[in-house]
Structure 1
Amino acid sequence: MLKLRGHHLFCLLGYRGMGYSKEYIENMTFWHQQLRYNPETKIQIIKGPDQLCEKYPNSGNYHCKDPHIYNRDEAILKKMGLEIGEIITWNEIESTIRKKIVPEDIHLVCVSCSWRGYGVCEEGIQEIIDGKGLREVT
């Protein structure tokens, strides 16, 4: 079972093999591809740092504990109708995205994210809506 915080549900959609460090990229790619090829993987929604945060480079101000990140988690979970502690499969997460999310939601709930400017998260949401699932990351 993978433990994820709210905003990482969207980060996984836009993930294209870029990140903060080699360790972070390896960890993110592993989990991203695990979900891509095993969509029945169970996800537990948690509050605060998760299994993706474990490899985030801590060089002073730890991004994963920033209050803005907690606000983003909360906004995404609210938009998706999910709650802390809930256990759901990745397939169910994709189904929820198709029913409740549109690409433009990124501009509302991820307004302060430094990755937003790349447009990959909107693209990822559209691919889920179109039934394509998560992209291959090489």
Structure 2
Amino acid sequence: MTIRLRPHHLLCLLTYVGKGYSPAFTANYDVIAERVARGEDILIVSGPDDICAPLLNDADPHCVCESVTERDRLAVRDVSALLAVPVGDGQKMVLDAAFLWRIREAFSAGKVRNACVGCQWYDLCSSIATDGYRGAVLKDY
């Protein structure tokens, strides 16, 4: 089975440590992170994805806001530049150890963090990156 991910969630997965918006969101994210860790294919999608799923029934889900769409646009730009290949809607990829190492190096250096500016999780993600991603669910080994 393939995991559907919006572009900025490629960055969020780097520092995911089991914290989230709600218990249902976190439980779902745990399952997705485990699937990614097992090497399951990722399909880049435009708009809400498998991580967003538990939030979509909220009265006003932030997953459909323009600010989140802008995060996706910035993530596409930065990750595409890093990888020197277009990363966008419909692309399949695997987040293997080499990918994780490369993107985490860029994340720590601030090269792929434009999508993160203004995010409520920015400080947490920064501290995880500064700590060498210790505690992150996805391991780059």
Q: What range describes the TM-score normalised by the shorter chain of this pair?
A: 0.7 to 0.9
Alignment of 1:65 with 2:70, yes or no, is no
- The gaps in structure 2 that reach 5 residues or longer are 81-86
Distance in 1, Cα, partners of 2:14 & 2:131: 6
Backbone CA RMSD of aligned residues: 2.8
SS where residue 47 of structure 1 aligns?
coil
Distance in 2, Cα, partners of 1:76 & 1:43: 15
Q: Displacement, 1:106? A: 5.9
Aligned residues: percent identity? 26
Q: Is the 8 A contact 1:2 1:42 kept in 2?
A: yes
Change (3 A) 1:115 1:21: same
Deviating 4+ runs (over 3 angstroms): 119-122, 124-127
Using the size of structure 1 for normalisation, the TM-score is: 0.78
Distance in 1, Cα, partners of 2:28 & 2:137: 19
Alignment of 1:111 with 2:117, yes or no, is yes
Q: Displacement, 1:25? A: 0.8
SS where residue 3 of structure 1 aligns?
strand
Using the size of structure 2 for normalisation, the TM-score is: 0.76
Q: Displacement, 1:62? A: 1.3
Q: Is the 8 A contact 1:15 1:120 kept in 2?
A: no
- The gaps in structure 1 that reach 5 residues or longer are none
Distance in 2, Cα, partners of 1:125 & 1:9: 19
Q: Displacement, 1:96? A: 5.3
| Matched ranges for 1:38-49 at <5 A | 38=38, 40-49=39-48
Q: Displacement, 1:119? A: 3.4
Deviation string, structure 1 residues 84-127 (Cα, Å, up to 9, x no partner) = 1101111174265267x232246532111100022357618954
- Aligned residue in 1 for 2:100: 94
Q: Is the 8 A contact 1:18 1:25 kept in 2?
A: yes
